[in-house]
Chains A and B, each alone.
Chain A
């Protein structure tokens, strides 16, 4: 047992307790528990450890690994499980098809009962929370498969939710639950330190082979320093092992750059830190974006988005009008867009009402719905020239909807179309930065027309 745990610890460090428990459940030769629920945050090593522990190496254990997301019907789920437990593989020889058709639970149970009794079986279901959306009898079935089939069979459910979210009205049998905690900072450091050989390999690939003498200065201690410094920046933001390893690999190259050039010696960690801060900052803001190695150094794309979207002139004005319609109260329209709207009497009440609270600003609360009439009215009010209401203009509205810059807030049921007045309501989905950029392109000051900014 200890050898087994040690063997897995070399691949997946810091998970000894869980490996111990899984070993006790599945590798000691005792009957399996009917079902095991393993939960914890994403990328804490649930699936990979289970896969490693349940690897069949001639011990009469057959395992089926299923992702519940891919099984959008019962048939796919049942056939995938039965196929993997039988050991059938889809090849060209059998025309990538399974010869049996398992549509109902009774077919599935019959298929399981026909498996050889001498062996033991485990079904691993990833993203098990999807089971709740499937047929109602599936979850209770999977929790008591040994009773239904008489085999030594177990179901391992993997999910990131606690089991309380699975309770159904008809009740579920008791289930063994296993929590996989997040890695601590020290554990994460050990995990990233494990990547030292691959990091060195990348360094050798990049540099000139003749000038590799400097690589001797990149010692494990140096790497440990780097990891410590790296986690000092990133640990507050992200604890996802996958993501951290990726970013650490990416930032190690620029970190070692000055050593290769010979500008900063490897011992001068202070200067190295100053040198790398800029790269780390950029990497921090592009976390989870998976932009690839090339673009990670350039600025973020969120500010560049309006530049990439090229809209026609009137479409820009329509979009601005939609933004104004979404983010201004209807009662303010007269004052904002009508030339001679009359004099406003200043009363204490209105002054108090206008006192701005940031949380209550319309631009903070989210866009409101408007109808087409209001959109067109604002459009004609903010446009200086007079254009006819042609079908080109109307098509541009629906094109904006197609581009998802506008969305339908409510659609008429009768199918009378957009032009029948109040039924179809739209919403503007773009943000303030985007619209200000568009306004700058056509020479229109958007802020001037937002009631929030008075």
Chain B
């Protein structure tokens, strides 16, 4: 499988996509897990007809039909009515399972392969479960706020609870309920939240005003056989605009007796309600809060080991090294999984070269860690040209001379002249030096203004002077 890029993968989109599939009652296919469904190919063709009429008011319905031929217009209508479901192209045949144990391990270690039971989150699971089950049993509304740094399993735990409750309700142990989830990141605009909620309830796509009116009517009027609705709002902070009307409405509906709406909100910061939201909104959000602490190294080790249960391809010391390194930085489970996967790839490479079985050992993990953790800037400096290195040295010299971090190009250039004279290189003219400066800025080693205020442009080092010295140690210039 493809290597995930370093940094946090966009897990919310993937996870909530899978959940959406579950909630529609369809089986989650393996293919879908491996290549998560994209919102829809909006970028395929651009609309030619006036914007209002053709642009769908939300991102996820298919907008591939944009040519204003009658055929595609009718198709557009069907999509907006919800008669046609958006699908993606399928492979002609599924990829064959690699018999290799490393490949299997890699598959299990993939971030989007969420296990059915999450290790180390039993307490949080219990708490969310009790809250939701109680509210569903009582047929009342309520709010819950879940916070925690990225990669601590907030969304995964919540969706796991919902899945369990859904299972129970299908076996009629608890009352039936509807489940809706929206993600702030997937909305182009906060008000599109209404459209998404309405579409998940009825399958129809409307303009946001209409959707809002219908939702308001639904939640404010009494209905004898109303079922409970559970609404999961991921990335709550994106929904906050200046007026905060969307957040207010979403949190106000649960307070109405007629609505039977349970809102579970997820965000990264613990003090978001107090910091960002207005008083009337944070009071409606209530005090039912839950904070997901970052994983410590034991928990990360457990998570990775749980995924690799019954496999001997991983050295347990290697897992511990990954866990300790990641726990020291962020406690992000996704990062630990990514590093492990990279290590399996490295081991795979070695196995292919030597032609014998290889287990993932400390050296592979060490190599993966250096690949994913070490600073790219130091490497950039090391591989940059001699003049660029000289220019960087001139910047550090100017910073030490003036004692101020911000220096201007003129000062740096005079330092460059001196340095070049010392090292016996001919001095580049100011125009060339400005080109060097622009290249270093483009690789974010320096921060400077554009070329417009040429010799008066301000230059700032984007890394510490010690790092520059460290990177230039090997260079012949020092």
**Interface stretch of the complex, out of A2-10, A83-91, A163-171, A207-215:** A163-171
In the complex, A107 has a CB within 8 A of chain B: yes
Check if B450 sits within 8 Å of A168, measured CB to CB: yes
**Interface stretch of the complex, out of B94-102, B229-237, B439-447:** B439-447
Q: Which of A104, A106, A168 contacts B451 (CB 8 A)?
A: A168
Interface SS majority for chain B: helix
Check if B435 sits within 8 Å of A167, measured CB to CB: yes
Q: Which residue of B lies closest to A177 (CB)?
A: B431
B422-478 contacts to A (CB < 8 Å): 430-431, 434-435, 437-439, 441-443, 448-452, 454
In the complex, B225 has a CB within 8 A of chain A: no
Enumerate chain A residues within 8 angstroms of B30, measured Cβ to Cβ.
Answer: none
In the complex, B71 has a CB within 8 A of chain A: no
Check if A106 sits within 8 Å of B46, measured CB to CB: yes
Check if B441 sits within 8 Å of A171, measured CB to CB: yes
Check if A164 sits within 8 Å of B450, measured CB to CB: no
Which of B48, B439, B452 has the most CB atoms of chain A within a 10 A radius of its CB? B452
Interface size on A, residues (CB 8 A): 17
Q: How far is the CA of A107 from the CA of B48 in the complex (A)?
A: 10
Enumerate chain A residues within 8 angstroms of B451, measured Cβ to Cβ.
Answer: 164-168
Check if A167 sits within 8 Å of B46, measured CB to CB: no
Q: Which residue of A lies closest to B443 (CB)?
A: A171
Q: Which residue of B lies closest to A129 (CB)?
A: B452
Q: How far is the CA of A141 from the CA of B265 in the complex (A)?
A: 41
Contact A132 to B452, CB < 8 A, known contacts A167-B438, A171-B443: yes
Check if B431 sits within 8 Å of A170, measured CB to CB: no
Min CB distance A287 to B, Å, is 30
Q: How far is the CA of A33 from the CA of B405 in the complex (A)?
A: 40
Check if A164 sits within 8 Å of B439, measured CB to CB: no
Which of B46, B441, B448, B451 has the most CB atoms of chain A within a 10 A radius of its CB? B451
Enumerate chain B residues within 8 angstroms of A166, measured Cβ to Cβ.
Answer: 451
Check if A101 sits within 8 Å of B48, measured CB to CB: yes
Enumerate chain A residues within 8 angstroms of B450, measured Cβ to Cβ.
Answer: 132, 167-169
Check if A169 sits within 8 Å of B454, measured CB to CB: no
Enumerate chain A residues within 8 angstroms of B448, measured Cβ to Cβ.
Answer: 169
In the complex, A110 has a CB within 8 A of chain B: yes
Q: How far is the CA of A228 from the CA of B20 in the complex (A)?
A: 86
Check if B46 sits within 8 Å of A169, measured CB to CB: no
Min CB distance A446 to B, Å, is 39
Check if A164 sits within 8 Å of B434, measured CB to CB: yes
Min CB distance B380 to A, Å, is 13
Q: How far is the CA of A168 from the CA of B441 in the complex (A)?
A: 9
Q: Which residue of B lies closest to A106 (CB)?
A: B46
Enumerate chain B residues within 8 angstroms of A170, measured Cβ to Cβ.
Answer: 442
Check if A162 sits within 8 Å of B431, measured CB to CB: yes
Contact A169 to B442, CB < 8 A, known contacts A106-B46, A107-B46, A132-B452: yes
Q: Which residue of B lies closest to A102 (CB)?
A: B46
In the complex, A69 has a CB within 8 A of chain B: no
Check if A104 sits within 8 Å of B454, measured CB to CB: no
Q: Which residue of B lies closest to A107 (CB)?
A: B46
Check if A165 sits within 8 Å of B441, measured CB to CB: no
Check if A169 sits within 8 Å of B441, measured CB to CB: yes
A164-207 contacts to B (CB < 8 Å): 164-172
Q: Which of B46, B48, B435 contacts A164 (CB 8 A)?
A: B435
Enumerate chain A residues within 8 angstroms of B454, measured Cβ to Cβ.
Answer: 164-165
Q: Which of A106, A164, A168, A171 contacts B431 (CB 8 A)?
A: A164
Q: Which residue of B lies closest to A165 (CB)?
A: B451
Q: How far is the CA of A308 from the CA of B449 in the complex (A)?
A: 47
Enumerate chain B residues within 8 angstroms of A169, measured Cβ to Cβ.
Answer: 441-442, 448-450
Min CB distance B429 to A, Å, is 10
Min CB distance B65 to A, Å, is 17
Q: How far is the CA of A162 from the CA of B430 in the complex (A)?
A: 11
Q: Which of A110, A165, A168, A171 contacts B46 (CB 8 A)?
A: A110
Check if B438 sits within 8 Å of A172, measured CB to CB: yes
Q: How far is the CA of A132 from the CA of B439 in the complex (A)?
A: 18
Check if A171 sits within 8 Å of B434, measured CB to CB: no
Min CB distance B438 to A, Å, is 4
Check if B452 sits within 8 Å of A165, measured CB to CB: yes
Enumerate chain B residues within 8 angstroms of A165, measured Cβ to Cβ.
Answer: 451-452, 454
Min CB distance B70 to A, Å, is 21
Enumerate chain A residues within 8 angstroms of B443, measured Cβ to Cβ.
Answer: 171
Q: Which residue of A lies closest to B440 (CB)?
A: A171
Check if B434 sits within 8 Å of A167, measured CB to CB: yes
Enumerate chain B residues within 8 angstroms of A163, measured Cβ to Cβ.
Answer: 431
Enumerate chain A residues within 8 angstroms of B438, measured Cβ to Cβ.
Answer: 167-168, 171-172
Check if B442 sits within 8 Å of A171, measured CB to CB: yes
Q: How far is the CA of A159 from the CA of B172 in the complex (A)?
A: 76
Q: How far is the CA of A170 from the CA of B443 in the complex (A)?
A: 8
Enumerate chain B residues within 8 angstroms of A106, measured Cβ to Cβ.
Answer: 43, 46
Enumerate chain B residues within 8 angstroms of A132, measured Cβ to Cβ.
Answer: 450, 452
Which of A132, A163, A169 has the most CB atoms of chain B within a 10 A radius of its CB? A169
Against B, the Cβ 8 Å flags (1 = close, 0 = not) of A84-116 are 000000000000000001001011001000000
Enumerate chain A residues within 8 angstroms of B48, measured Cβ to Cβ.
Answer: 101
Q: How far is the CA of A164 from the CA of B437 in the complex (A)?
A: 10
Q: Which residue of A lies closest to B437 (CB)?
A: A167
Which of A101, A104, A164, A170 has the most CB atoms of chain B within a 10 A radius of its CB? A164
Enumerate chain B residues within 8 angstroms of A172, measured Cβ to Cβ.
Answer: 438, 442
Min CB distance B385 to A, Å, is 13
Enumerate chain B residues within 8 angstroms of A110, measured Cβ to Cβ.
Answer: 46
Enumerate chain A residues within 8 angstroms of B442, measured Cβ to Cβ.
Answer: 169-172
Against A, the Cβ 8 Å flags (1 = close, 0 = not) of B234-262 are 00000000000000000000000000000
Q: How far is the CA of A165 from the CA of B448 in the complex (A)?
A: 13
Against B, the Cβ 8 Å flags (1 = close, 0 = not) of A133-173 are 00000000000000000000000000000111111111110
Q: How far is the CA of A170 from the CA of B442 in the complex (A)?
A: 5
Enumerate chain A residues within 8 angstroms of B46, measured Cβ to Cβ.
Answer: 104, 106-107, 110
Q: Which residue of A lies closest to B442 (CB)?
A: A171
Against A, the Cβ 8 Å flags (1 = close, 0 = not) of B297-314 are 000000000000000000
Q: Which residue of A lies closest to B432 (CB)?
A: A164
Min CB distance B63 to A, Å, is 14
Q: How far is the CA of A171 from the CA of B438 in the complex (A)?
A: 6
Q: Which residue of A lies closest to B48 (CB)?
A: A101
Q: How far is the CA of A166 from the CA of B449 in the complex (A)?
A: 11
Q: How far is the CA of A107 from the CA of B46 in the complex (A)?
A: 7
Q: How far is the CA of A165 from the CA of B438 in the complex (A)?
A: 11
Against B, the Cβ 8 Å flags (1 = close, 0 = not) of A352-390 are 000000000000000000000000000000000000000
Min CB distance A128 to B, Å, is 13
Q: How far is the CA of A164 from the CA of B453 in the complex (A)?
A: 10
Q: How far is the CA of A110 from the CA of B449 in the complex (A)?
A: 33
Q: How far is the CA of A170 from the CA of B446 in the complex (A)?
A: 11
Min CB distance B455 to A, Å, is 10
Min CB distance A161 to B, Å, is 9
Q: Which residue of B lies closest to A170 (CB)?
A: B442
Min CB distance A109 to B, Å, is 10
Q: How far is the CA of A132 from the CA of B454 in the complex (A)?
A: 14
Q: Which of A104, A107, A171 contacts B439 (CB 8 A)?
A: A171
Interface, chain A (partner B; CB < 8 A): 101, 104, 106-107, 110, 132, 162-172
Q: A165-B454, A167-B441 are in contact. List 10 more A-B contacts (CB 8 A).
A: A104-B46, A110-B46, A165-B451, A167-B451, A168-B450, A169-B449, A169-B450, A171-B439, A171-B442, A171-B443
12 CB contacts below 8 A, A to B, read A101-B48, A104-B46, A162-B431, A164-B454, A165-B454, A167-B435, A167-B438, A167-B441, A168-B438, A168-B450, A171-B438, A171-B442
Interface, chain B (partner A; CB < 8 A): 43, 46, 48, 430-431, 434-435, 437-439, 441-443, 448-452, 454
